[in-house]
Structure 1
Amino acid sequence: MKFAFVSGSVALDFVGTVQSRRDDPLDLLTAPADLADWTAAAGLLDAAAPATTADLAAAVHLREAIYRLVLASAGGSPLAAEDCAVLNRATTRVPVRQDLQPDGTVVRRGSIGAVLATLARDAVELLTQSPGQVKECAAPRCTRLYVDRSHRSSRRWCTMTRCGNRAKAATHRSRHPS
Structure 2
Amino acid sequence: MASMSTDDDPRPLTGEPLPLDLLNTRWTDDDGTEHDLLGRPGGLGIWLATNGLRVPETQETLDALLETREALFELVQPEVRDPVRSRALLNETLRHGHFRRRLGANGPENVLETDTPGWQAAWRAAEGYLLLLERDPGRIRKCANPECRLRFYDVSKAGARRWCSMAACGNRAKYARHRDSR
TM-score by length of 1: 0.72
- What do you get for the CA RMSD once the two structures are aligned? 3.1
Query: 8 Å contact 1:31–1:53 — kept in the other structure?
Result: no
Structure number with the higher strand fraction is: 2
Which one-letter code corresponds to 1:125 in the other structure?
A: L
Q: 138, 142, 148: which one pairs with 2:148?
A: 142
Query: 8 Å contact 1:136–1:144 — kept in the other structure?
Result: yes
Q: 1:36 to 1:113 in 2, by over 3 A?
A: farther
Q: Structure 2: how far apart are the matches of 1:135 and 1:59?
A: 21
1:31 Cα deviation from its structure 2 partner: 4.6
Q: Structure 2: how far apart are the matches of 1:131 and 1:5?
A: 20
Query: 8 Å contact 2:28–2:35 — kept in the other structure?
Result: yes
**Equivalent position SS for 2:63:** helix
Partner of 2:3 in structure 1? none
Count of equivalent residues? 157
Residue segments in structure 1 that go unaligned for 5+ positions in a row = 103-109
1:26 Cα deviation from its structure 2 partner: 2.1
Q: Structure 2: how far apart are the matches of 1:122 and 1:36?
A: 20
Q: Structure 2: how far apart are the matches of 1:94 and 1:128?
A: 18
Query: 8 Å contact 1:70–1:127 — kept in the other structure?
Result: no
Partner of 2:85 in structure 1? 82
**Equivalent position SS for 1:135:** strand
Match status 1:61 vs 2:70: no
Which one-letter code corresponds to 1:124 in the other structure?
A: L
Partner of 2:158 in structure 1? 152
Identity of paired residues, percent?
A: 31
Q: Output one character per residue of 1:110-132: Cα deviation in whole Å (capped at 9) or x when no partner.
A: 94421111111001112333211
Q: 24, 46, 50: which one pairs with 1:16?
A: 24
1:24 Cα deviation from its structure 2 partner: 5.2
Residue segments in structure 2 that go unaligned for 5+ positions in a row = 1-8, 107-113
